[in-house]
Structure 1
Amino acid sequence: MTTARRTQKQRRDQAETALLNAAAELVVEQGVRSLTLARVSERAGYSRGLVTHHFGSKQALLERLAHATQTGFVPGLDGLPPGLDRLLRLIDGYLGALGTVGVLNRAFLLLWAEAATAAELAPIFRERDEAFRADLREDIAAAIVDGTIRPDAVPDEVAIAIVGQLRGIGLQRLLDPQAVNTQRLRRAVTEHWRQALTRAQT
């Protein structure tokens, strides 16, 4: 029985995954200011040259880490049309995923919080938050059109509030996992947004 040789792309993808995981572990353990390409290479067991080849700079590594940590965070949304159902599934799924958040997502939340005072992080996370808000705005706008969300809802304001709530719950979960039961919260938070967005104005 022979083992097929890995392709160059497979080797490259495996190396990048290992490097991103190593970077995430270092962020969680020591913070972003202690992150260097040399430390990432040492943690992952690769040469400094390979890290530089993949990312080129610490800034590029942080950008890639910010993108990688959010990819597929809430599964099952692909193929769903924009609207209230997809919005509520995203909220529910995000909170459910926080219950078993891995090192990549812990790193994302820590980096997101640090972006408020770290100049090298601020542009990265402004872009990530805007992409998140854009997805939410699409759902809210579609639901207003089809009548499932009340017409006076302001998509941008609602999107800002939802992102703030979800990220804030995630940070609380990191700080005190025992106090933040995301499995119980997901039902309450999802129902809160259902009622807030669908009830008629008086």
Structure 2
Amino acid sequence: MSTARRTQKQRRDEAEAALLNAAAALVVEKGVRSLTLARVSEQAGYSRGLVTHHFGSKQALLERLAQASQTGFVPGLDGLPPGLDRLLRLIGGYVGMLGQVGVLNRAFLLLWAEAATASELTPIFRERDEAFRADLREDVTAGIADGTVRPDVVPDEVAIAVVGQLRGIGLQRLLDPEAVDTERLRHSVTEHWRRALT
């Protein structure tokens, strides 16, 4: 019985995933200020040289961690056209996913909160939030164009409010999981935005 050899790309992707998970675990356990390339390598069981090879610096590691932990958080949105339906699915899906947040997502929320006071994080999370708001603005704008969203709605304002609400719910879930019933909340938050926009 033979086992298929992994390609170099597969080995590289596996190593990067292990390093990102190790970095996320360190952020969750000890905060961003304790994060170093040496600690990440130790946590992941790799050499420091491999961490440096993959990321080059702590800043690059943080940027990749922010991107990886946010990508694909809400499944099932790919292929949906921009508009009210996609926006409401994103909102409901995001709140629902907060009920099963893994270490990467916990790290993202903690880093996002810390970005207000940690200068090395501020530009990373400013860019991530702007990308998130751009997607939301696209949905609202498309909804206005197709008539499913009221024409007096301001896409920029909705995007800011939605990001603030979703991130705020996420932080509350981290602080007090028992107080935030994400299954019930996902329906009420989604319905709130449906009424507000139509």
Match of 1:71 in 2: 71
SS where residue 178 of structure 2 aligns?
Answer: coil
Match of 2:169 in 1: 169
Code of the residue aligned with 2:28 in structure 1: it is V
RMSD after superposition: 0.3
Partners of 2:138 and 2:186 in 1: how far apart? 22
Match of 1:58 in 2: 58
Partners of 1:149 and 1:4 in 2: how far apart? 52
Shift of 1:3: 0.5
Partners of 2:145 and 2:126 in 1: how far apart? 28
After superposition, the C-alpha distances for 1:37-83 in whole angstroms (9 at most, x for unaligned) are 00000000000000000000000000000000011100100111110
Match of 2:120 in 1: 120
Match of 1:144 in 2: 144
User: How many pairs were matched up?
Assistant: 198
Partners of 2:132 and 2:182 in 1: how far apart? 20
Q: Output the TM-score relative to the length of structure 1.
A: 0.98
Match of 2:186 in 1: 186
Question: Does the alignment pair 1:86 with 2:80?
Answer: no
Unaligned runs of at least 5 residues, structure 2: none
Partners of 2:80 and 2:6 in 1: how far apart? 35
Code of the residue aligned with 1:146 in structure 2: it is D
Code of the residue aligned with 1:19 in structure 2: it is L
Partners of 1:79 and 1:18 in 2: how far apart? 29
After superposition, the C-alpha distances for 1:72-119 in whole angstroms (9 at most, x for unaligned) are 100100111110000000000000100000000000000000000000
Partners of 2:132 and 2:18 in 1: how far apart? 26
SS where residue 63 of structure 2 aligns?
Answer: helix
- State percent identity of aligned pairs: 86
Partners of 1:76 and 1:4 in 2: how far apart? 31
SS where residue 178 of structure 1 aligns?
Answer: helix
Match of 1:30 in 2: 30
Question: Does the alignment pair 1:103 with 2:103?
Answer: yes
Unaligned runs of at least 5 residues, structure 1: none
Partners of 2:7 and 2:139 in 1: how far apart? 40
Partners of 2:40 and 2:190 in 1: how far apart? 38
Partners of 1:139 and 1:8 in 2: how far apart? 39
